[in-house]
Chains A and B, each alone.
Chain A
């Protein structure tokens, strides 16, 4: 049964609901919570261009701490994982889930994709397809 839960958080408006849902899930089903945020770094066309990802990583840290605080307010604990990835951050979520043996990934269908026509964001799509663990896709 579900034991190790990885919750993808992105700092979007849906994050609070996603975290609250994950907390409720653990209260009912048991298991551990880990929050992951993947910083979307630009893919450089020219490898030599200077790029400093530190500010983005700091922002990512803030997002994770915010979500972690929310988990603690629910009387639970969560580990946090901060990663970076150029392009689709779904690949990194799948990679981490596989390496660390998570059994369930919880994420929102849309996150930052605001356009109503997008039913399933690209990150969610990638995770749903490529993850070898189960995936719970939340909706608004």
Chain B
């Protein structure tokens, strides 16, 4: 049997929900023997472009921290920083770099307000991705 997934994209946002999804992704990678790419998208409005470099630099630690966690468990992982609209960037990168799974935090459904914040990027990714998407709740 060929591997189910080989290249897995894990968008992370630095929120308090992040550690759960990182642990989940690492557990999956250990069983499947796939590699993980932790992606942080810097969502910058045009008016903020002057601050971009500062923002990028301060954000690199987010995916790097995830990569360290994965490496500590012998999972092959890398970290990436991209700039743009989060959902669009995730979907396009998955296509361009041939990822075969996106693992993302899904909304829980019971809280409208929480859905608004946690789920909106996940929503767009799940609608537009051309590869399988695992919504972790």
Interface residues of A (CB under 8 A from B): 1, 21, 24-25, 27-30, 94, 119-120, 128-139
- Whether the Cβ atoms of A1 and B132 lie closer than 8 Å is no
CA distance A1 to B136 in the complex (A): 11
How far apart are A35's CB and chain B's nearest CB, in angstroms?
19
- Whether the Cβ atoms of B132 and A137 lie closer than 8 Å is yes
Quick one: which of A1, A28, A128 contacts B135, CB cutoff 8 A?
A128
Q: In the complex, what residue of chain A is closest to B31 when comparing beta carbons? A: A29
A119-B128, A139-B129 given; A134·B107 CB < 8 A: no
Q: B133 at interface (Cβ–Cβ under 8 A)?
A: yes
CA distance A28 to B133 in the complex (A): 18
CA distance A24 to B5 in the complex (A): 11
Interface residues of B (CB under 8 A from A): 1, 4, 27-28, 31-32, 106-110, 115, 119, 126-137
A120-B127, A134-B134, A136-B132 given; A129·B107 CB < 8 A: yes
The main secondary structure of chain A at its interface with chain B is mixed
A21-B4, A27-B1, A29-B31 given; A132·B137 CB < 8 A: yes
Instruction: Beyond the given A129-B109, A133-B137, please list 20 additional residue pairs across the A-B interface where CB-CB is below 8 A.
Output: A1-B27, A24-B4, A29-B28, A119-B127, A119-B128, A129-B107, A131-B137, A132-B110, A132-B137, A134-B106, A134-B136, A134-B137, A135-B134, A136-B132, A136-B134, A136-B135, A137-B126, A137-B135, A138-B132, A139-B132
- Whether the Cβ atoms of B126 and A130 lie closer than 8 Å is no
Q: In the complex, what residue of chain A is closest to B134 when comparing beta carbons? A: A136
Interface centre among A132, A134, A137 (most CB of B within 10 A): A137
Residues from chain A with a CB closer than 8 A to the CB of B119 are: 129
Residues from chain A with a CB closer than 8 A to the CB of B126 are: 120, 128, 137
- Whether the Cβ atoms of B127 and A135 lie closer than 8 Å is no
Residues from chain B with a CB closer than 8 A to the CB of A1 are: 27
How far apart are A107's CB and chain B's nearest CB, in angstroms?
11
Residues from chain B with a CB closer than 8 A to the CB of A24 are: 1, 4
Q: In the complex, what residue of chain B is closest to A103 when comparing beta carbons? A: B137
A120-B127, A137-B132 given; A131·B31 CB < 8 A: no
CA distance A132 to B136 in the complex (A): 9
Residues from chain B with a CB closer than 8 A to the CB of A132 are: 108-110, 137
Identify 13 residue pairs between A and B in the complex whose beta-carbon atoms are under 8 Å apart, listed by A's number: A25-B4, A29-B28, A120-B127, A129-B107, A129-B115, A132-B110, A133-B137, A134-B135, A134-B136, A135-B135, A136-B134, A137-B133, A138-B132
How far apart are B36's CB and chain A's nearest CB, in angstroms?
16
CA distance A94 to B107 in the complex (A): 14
CA distance A21 to B4 in the complex (A): 8
